[in-house]
Amino acid sequence: MTVRSETIEIAVDEQSISGTILTPGARLPGILFVHGWGGSQQRDLARAKNITGLGCVCLTFDLRGHERTHEMRASVSREHSMDDLLAAYDRLASHPSVDNNAIAVIGSSYGGYLAAILSGIRPVRWLALRVPALYWDADWDMPKQALDRDKLAHYRRSAVTAADNRALAACKEFQGDVLLVESETDDYVPHATLMSYRTAFDLAHSLTYRLLDGADHALSSDTSQHAYTSILTNWISEMVIGARLVDYPHQSAAFA
């Protein structure tokens, strides 16, 4: 399948963030990637290219405070990042090749936290969260880098419920399919946080949970990177492409 790559600008708050949209051609599922704090769209691009080849329209982008706008990092709040994500989602959903009833969001760490909240604001059919971070609801408009790291570490080790957290509340209402991936030796997002997320998804249509043996938070080793790519690609194939064959059986030959 031929993949077209287009560099785009996404308008947000009278500024713009850069993104790359990959398109296979026909009206297809849309996949939105959300990188973690300190990351960028570059690592997502390799996975997006593979998934686009399965028959999806993929969008990766850089949150403000990263890459081209790195000088803004000290002032970027979760509110800014959420505005970025909403703008990116709306750009993907408006693409003529995208089926608006078939959008998946894939988030890592901080991006996973934002993706969870997004699922309560915009239609999301599939949600893949790798080591999703967790933050208290207060200080939403405070610069993210100003949040107390020790307090955050303690918060994430605690048992947090949907009644006390905006992201978990969105998870509790989510009725689509979920992929939740934990890193065994994660120093930033502990097992307790993954359990808070896992417990919240009690209405999900399906929940796939995977533990990456020996992996750290950033997936520093090639082995960990390849393992996650395999898990994600297989899940996308099963959930997104499989559902498309049910929704559009006349197109099944194109995905055989």
pLDDT, one tens digit per residue, over 208-244 is 999 999 999 999 999 999 999 999 999 999 987 676 6
What's the pLDDT score for residue 251? 43
CA-to-CA dists, residue 221 to 34, 123, 215, 249, angstroms = 21, 34, 8, 40
* Predicted pLDDT of residue 26: 58
- DSSP letter at 241 equals I
Return the exposure string of 146-184: e unless at least 16 CB atoms fall within 10 Å of the residue's CB, then b. ebeeeeeeebbeeebebeebbbbbbbbebebbbbbbbbe
**128 C-beta neighbours (distance < 10 Å), count:** 27
Question: Please, which pLDDT band fits residue 247 given cuts at 50, 70 and 90?
Answer: low
The residue type of 201 is: F
What pLDDT is recorded for position 178? Answer: 98
Spatial neighbors of 57 by CB under 8 A, at least 6 apart, are 21, 22, 23, 24, 28, 29, 30, 31, 92, 95, 97, 98
Architecture of domain 4-255: 3-Layer(aba) Sandwich (3.40)
- pLDDT of 10 over the 80 cut: yes
pTM of the model: 0.86
Contact 140, 169 (CB under 8 A): no
Is the pLDDT at 168 greater than 90, yes or no?
yes
pLDDT over 50 (residue 252): no
Nearest to 17 by CA among 109, 81, 95, 98: 81
Of the listed ranges 31-35, 66-70, 236-240, the least confidently predicted one is 66-70
- Phi/psi region, residue 56 (left: phi>0; alpha: psi -120 to 50; beta: rest), is beta
Report the pLDDT value the prediction gives residue 256, as an integer from 0 to 100.
34
As a whole number, mean pLDDT of residues 127-139 equals: 97
Q: Domain locations in the chain?
A: 4-255
Mean pLDDT along residues 32-40: 87
- Mean pLDDT on 107-131: 97
pLDDT digit string (tens) for 91-104? 999 998 899 889 99
pLDDT exceeds cutoff 50 at 248: no
Interatomic CA distance for residues 20 and 10, integer angstroms:
10
Give the Cα separation of 114 and 133 in Å (integer): 9
Rounded Cα gap, residues 29 and 256, in angstroms = 16
Name the band, by pLDDT with cuts 50, 70 and 90, for residue 38. Answer: confident
